[in-house]
Amino acid sequence: DTAVSQTPKYLVTQMGNDKSIKCEQNLGHDTMYWYKQDSKKFLKIMFSYNNKELIINETVPNRFSPKSPDKAHLNLHINSLELGDSAVYFCASSSTRNTEAFFGQGTRLTVV
């Protein structure tokens, strides 16, 4: 019973391709996030959604488009992948009542 689950866990793709990462949470949370972890392990917010509404877009290139079909899901679509997009992408969720965030297992994206 994974609380926050992402698929796929690993993604290897060529430059220029379009790919998606899916995230689902079963915690009943109303806020979901995408974070990016770079090669130096630094974690930085990309997007946050509250009740399916985009709240934060942290100067992410518009090749990255998040989509929240409902409060339990937040998917990340990436167009025209570049070498610099290689990183680990983490989905997370929290509740506005108790702001403790829980993270998925991460998706390691490698662009070749």
Kindly state the tokens that stand for 79.
Answer: 């167009």
Among 11, 33, 76, 78, indicate the residue that binds another protein (CB under 8 A).
33
Q: Hey, which bits of the chain come out as E strands?
A: 4-7, 10-13, 19-25, 31-37, 43-50, 53-57, 64-70, 73-78, 87-94, 102-103, 107-111
CB 14 within 8 A of CB 111: yes
Near another protein in 50-109, by CB under 8 A: 50, 55-56, 58, 88, 90, 92, 96, 98-103, 105-106, 108
Can residue 39 be called a binding residue for another protein (CB under 8 A)?
Answer: no
Rounded least distance, CB 16 to another protein, Å: 26
Kindly state the tokens that stand for 112.
Answer: 């070749």
Name the nearest CA neighbour of 24 among 86, 93, 84, 81. 93
Can residue 13 be called a binding residue for another protein (CB under 8 A)?
Answer: no
Rounded least distance, CB 18 to another protein, Å: 24
Please give the residue ranges that form the binding site for another protein (CB under 8 A): 31, 33, 35, 40-45, 48, 50, 55-56, 58, 88, 90, 92, 96, 98-103, 105-106, 108
